[in-house]
A and B are shown apart, each in its own frame.
Chain A
Amino acid sequence: ENYHISWQDSRNRSETTLNNMPGADKETDLSERIEAFLADLKRGGSGTGPLRGSGEMARETTALLRRITAQARWSSAGDLMEIIRNEGRRMTAAQPSETTVGNMVRRVLKIIREEYARSRGSSEETDQQESLHKLLTSGGLSEENFRQHFASLKANVIEAINELLTELEGTTDNIAMQALEHIHSNEVIMTIGRSRTVEAFLKDAARKRKFHVIVAECAPFCQGHEMATSLSKAGIETTVIADAAIFAVMSRVNKVIIGTQTVLANGGLRAVNGTHTLALAAKHHSTPLIVCAPMFKLSPQFPNEEEIFHKFVSPHEVLPFTEGEILSKVNVHCPVFDYVPPELITLFISNIGGNAPSYIYRLMSELYHPEDHEL
C-alpha cells in the first residue's frame, strides 16, 4: 500500500513538515506539485477564460516558485536561475494564453539577479544601468557571473519572493483605493464582461458616490451578467446591454472602465472579446477609456507574436453541439481575446498609480531584466 499512503500524504502534508523531510522525498513531492500545476494550467480554461482570476494565478505561480527555490538542489544563483527558467518555460508552454505565469517567472528571475548583486556588494543601481560598452564586452558571459556561492542567498531570495507575494495580495485594494479620483457623482460608466479588479474599483467608489454602470454582457460567455448581479448587490444602479448596443449607448457614457487579461509591451491590450469594439466606440465619442490593470499583467510580449496570442475555445457557446446537421456544414470559431491598440487607451490604473500607454515600456524595463524577456 505504499503508493497509496504517499498519495494521501502529499495531500495532507503541511508546509512546516516539508523542511524535515529527507531530500529525495522532497524532490518527488516538488516535482509532483509542479506536474499538478502544469496539468492544471493545461486544463485551465473551461471556455469562460481562466478558471481562476489572474491574480490568484499570479500568487499560485509565485508560491510555487518560492517552493522551488526552497527545495530544489542548487548551489549558486546561476543554477537556480537555470532551474526556474526551465520550469518557467514549461509553465508558459502549458498555457501560452496565461501570460501572468510567465510574468511572475520573470519577476522572480529579476529578484534573484538583484539579491545576487546585493550579496556581491555591488549596488542594484549600477548593475541595472549597463552601459553600451559593458553590454558589448560582457555579452554572453553574463551567466558566468552568477557562479559565486553565498550562504545567505537562499534566505534573501525567499524573503524577497515573500515581499512580492505581499505586494500581489494588495494589488486589487491598491487599485480600488484610487477609484474616487476617477469616478464622480452621477456619472455613467460603461464596462464589459467581468473583471475582478474593475468590480472592486466600482464598489469602492460606490461607498461615497452615486453613479450608473452599464455592463456589456460579453457574449457568448456572458460574464457581464455575473458582473451586473454583483454590482447591483452592492447597491450600484446597473444596466445590462447586449454587445451590439455598445455603440448606440456610448453617447451617454462619461467613462469606460475595463479590465484586461494582459498589458502588452507596446501599451496595447489583450482583453476579452468585444473590448476592441468598445474601445473604438469610445474613441469615436471621445469618451475616456480607463484600464484597471495590476502590474503583474504587464508582459514583455508584442502583439505580433501570433502563435501564442490567441486562444480559441470550444465553439459550443456559439453554436451548441446539440444542433444537428448544420454543424457539419459550417465552421464555428470561438476566440476569447481581442487585441486593443494602445492609441485607443487613455489611462492605465495600476497598483502603483496611473500611467499613460506610452509609459508602459518604461515600467516594463523596471519590472523585468531585458535578458529574461525570452524565457
Chain B
Amino acid sequence: MRRSLALSSRWTAILVVISALCCLFSPAISVKHENFKTCDQSGFCKRNRAYADTAAGTNNWEAPYRIAPESLSWKNGQLQGSILKTVNANGETVRLPITISFLESGSARVVIDEEKRQKGEIELRHDSKIRKERYNEAESWAIVGGLDLSKTATEDRGSAKSHVKYGPDGKFEAVITYAPFGIDFKRDDATQVRFNDRGLLNLEHWRQKIDKPAPETKEGEEPSPTPEVPAGEDESTWWDETFGGNTDSKPRGPESVGLDITFPGYEYVFGIPEHAGSLSLKATRGGDGNHNDPYRLYNADVFEYIMDSSMTLYGSIPFMQAHKKDSTVGVFWLNAAETWIDVIKEKEAHNPLSLGIGSKFETKTHWFSESGLIDVFVFLGPTAKDITKVYGELTGYTALPQEFAIAYHQCRWNYNSDEDVKDVDRKMSKHNIPYDVIWLDIEYTDDKQYFTWDPLSFTNPTGMLEQLDQSERKLVAIIDPHIKNKDGYHVVEELKKKDLAVHDKGGGIYEGWCWPGSSHWVDCFNPAAIKWWIGLFKYDYFKGSAPNLFIWNDMNEPSVFNGPETTMPKDNIHHGGWEHRDVHNINGMTFHNATYQALLERRKGEIRRPFVLTRSFYSGSQRLGAMWTGDNQASWEHLAAGFPMILNNGIAGFPFAGADVGGFFGNPEKDLLTRWYQAGAFYPFFRGHAHIDTRRREPYLAGEPYTGIITQALRLRYSLLPAWYTAFHEASVDGTPIIRPHYFQYPSDEAGFAIDDQFFVGGTGLLAKPVVTEKAESVDIYLPDDEQYYDYFTFEKYSGRGKHNIVAPLEKIPLLMQGGHIIPRKDRPRRSSGLMKWDPHTLVLVLGKSGQAKGELYFDDGETFDYQQGAYVHREFEFRDGVLVSSDIGVNGKLTEKFLRCVKSVGVEKILIVGAPKSWEGKSSVKIGGGEAGLEFHPEEGNKAAWAVVRAPKVAIGEDWKIEF
C-alpha cells in the first residue's frame, strides 16, 4: 500500500511536470478522453461486464445455454446442431444454430448464429431497411483460405458430451459439453483452451421493444433509472443510445454476443492489436498496474493517444496468443463490430477440474462484440510459429513488398511544392544519405480533392517524378476515403451519380466532415465501388501520376470529424444493407483493398506489386501493404512505445509495421531524433514523418554529429536490406514475424516472455536493443541462451544467459550477432536501394560455440510478381567442418533460368568470419573449386573476437559453390 502510495505521488509529480511542460511547448498534448467511450458508456460493454459480474457473484451460476443433443449431426469434420437459450423463468427457449468445424490445418472453428434473425423473423424499428440477419460476411473479407475441413477428425458422441479427435496425428481433442454448453480444447490430453468455462456465453436474442409509459423526464435531465425493470434485465441500454450528441437508433435492438475463453496454465497473453502498451497484455479489471477498462477494438482516429492504455486505436486484429513454457495457443475472434476483451490473470487455478500441466496460472478472457456472429477459431500450437502459420493460412500472409518499400521513407506534412520535393531529393543525395521514397501529405491536392494537384504549388508533378526516378526513387501521395463534396469536382460527381457512397440511416448519401470540409465516403464494400476506384488510378485519369507514384491511405477508420467518436454513426448503411455497426472494424481494410487492387495494373500489361500504407486495419490487411502506428509524439515515451506495438502487430500476422520516426507531433530534440533513427532502422516499415506545425527535420538538417550518426543508422539499414528482404520473404510464405519477440524465438525461456524492448531480426540471429531512453550511456541486453554473441560493429564478445551491459553512447546502436548464423549484406552505399541491385554481397559468418553457422538469402527483381513463377534466388549458406556451401533452396519455375541469367554478374565480394578459429592463424588462402582466394586472419584482441576475411571469392550469388577453409 505504501509502495503504491509512493508510486502514485511520484506519478502525480510526473504528471504535474509533464502538464507544465505541455503548457510551455504546445497546447495540451493528451488524448481527448471524453471523446471516446469507456466501457461504462458503451451499452453492450456495460451489459456484458454486468453479466460477468452477476455470474461471478452467483453461487453455482449456470449459463442458460445448452446443446440439444438430438440436434447434433457430424459430417466431414463438422459438427452441427442447435443451442437452446433459456430466455425466461418459464423455460422458454430460442434456438441458436451452432457449427463446429475441424480444419485440415489443425484449427477448430465455432460459429453460433440466431435462428430467428437468420430467417428474417424479426421486426426492425424506425422502419429501417437494413438486413435482419446477424452480419455473416466478415469471413469474405478476412479469410482467404485454410478452411478445408479435416478428413481425419472423428467424433465420439456421448449422452452428455461429445469428443472430437482432430489435428496432426489426432493429438488435438475438443470435448463439447451439452449442458451448460462448453468446449474444452485439449492437446496431448491437457486442456489448453476452454469456452464458456465461466458461463459468460451471451447472445442477445431478438426481442420486440415494449413501450412502457416512460417516466416523466424533463429535457436535459438525466433519466432516472426506472424501478419497474425486471431484475437482471436492465433495458436502459437496449434501445437508442446517445453519446457525444449523436443518437444511435439501433433498429435491431440489443444484439451483442459474448463468450469467455480461459487459458488454463497460461500466464501470458499477447496480440489483439492495436493498443499503446506492452506486448504482454495486462489484466483489465483494475488493480495495481492493471487497466480498468477492457481492451477495446473499435478503429478510431484517436488524437494524441496516450501510453499504456487499453483504449482503442486505429486498427483491430482480434487475434490473441496465450503462452506458457513450451506451449503457445491462440484464438481468433472473427467479428467486425465494436469488440472489447476483458483479461483476468489468476495465480493458482481455482478450478479443480483444470488439467493443465503445472497450472499455476490461469488467464481468463472475456470477449464481446456489439453485433454479428460468434465466430471463433482455436489454435493449439504448440509453438507460436505454428500458430502464426495457421492464422496466416486463414487470413493471408504478408504481401511480399517491392524492395523500395522496406528501405527508408522520407515524409512530412507537407512538402510544400514540387520544387520543395526536388530540393529535398537533391539534398539527400548531396549529403550521401540514402532514401527511397519521399511522401506527400494532403496539401499537394487542389483544395483537398484527391486525384488532383495544387495548381499553384505542384505545377509539374511529372517533372518531379522524373527527377526522383533518375535515382530510382519513388513518391507516395496520400489518398483518403473522404471525397470532397463540391460542385464540379469530377470524383464526387461520379461517386454520387453512380451511388457508390456510404448511406445514412435514412438511405441518403451520408455527409460528414473531414479534411476537405463536407465530404462523402466511398463504400468499398460495394464491388462496383472497387471497380470505379480502380479506374481512378489509371495514369490517364490521375493526371500527373506515374509508375513510381504509390499511395498512402489515411483516415480510413473512417475518421469523420463531426461523427460520434470521430467516426461514422453506427446506423449508417453500407452496400448489401449492412449497418456500419456490423462492419466498422473491416471498413478500413476494404478501402485499403480497393487501393491495392487499383495499383496492381495501372496500365494494361504493367503489373506491379502495389505499395499502399494504411492506418486502419483488420485481420487480412497484411495482404495489402504496410501499416504505421498513427499519430505519435516526439517524446521518449513514444519512442519506447514503438517496439511493443510493432512486435504485437507482428505476432498478430501484420508484421509490415512501423512508427513515425521523430514523432509526428512536436519537435524532437536532436538526441531523440538520432535515437529514433537508430530505432527506426529496425522497424519493418521505416519512415520519418512530421506534423505541419513542426520544424523541418530532414536528416541533413540536424548538423554534426547528429547527421553523421543518423546516416550511419540509415546505411546500416541499407546494408542489411538483403537480410530484411529475406525476412519479409519468410513472413510472406509462413507468417513468421519480421522482428520477433523473445517468447516467439525462445518459448522455453520464461525470463524472456514479457520482454518487448529487444528482439530478433528475422532469422538472422541479429539481436537488437535500440536505445529508447534519454541520456542513456548503456543498456542491459538480455541473452536467452548460452550461445556466443558478438557486438555487430566491434566483434566484442558476450555470452551467458542473462543480462549484459552494453556501453551505448549516442553513436552506438546495441546490436548483437548470435553465433551460428550467416548474415547477407551489401556494403556499398548508394543513393537508393534500386541502385544497389547489381552490387556484390558480403556474407558475415557468425560462428557459434559449435563452430558452425547457417543462413539464408532470398531476392528477386523486387518489383514484379515474376517471383511467383520462380524468378528469384533463394540460397542456403551453411558452414560446418571448415566448409562453406551455398545451395539452392528455391523451387524452380518458368522464369527461374531467365532470372538467374539476369543476376549472373551479382557476386559475393567478401566473406567475413566472426569468431574465426585460432587454427586459421597463418592460413592465407581458401579453396574455391579449382581456384583459391586470399584469407586474412585477425587474432583475438582482448574481448574482441578473432575474425577473418575471405578476399574476393568471385563466386556468383545465384550459383552453387563451395569454399574450403
Q: Do A and B bind each other?
A: no
List residues of B whose CB falls within 8 A of some A CB.
Answer: none
Q: Which residues of A contact B (CB under 8 A)?
A: none
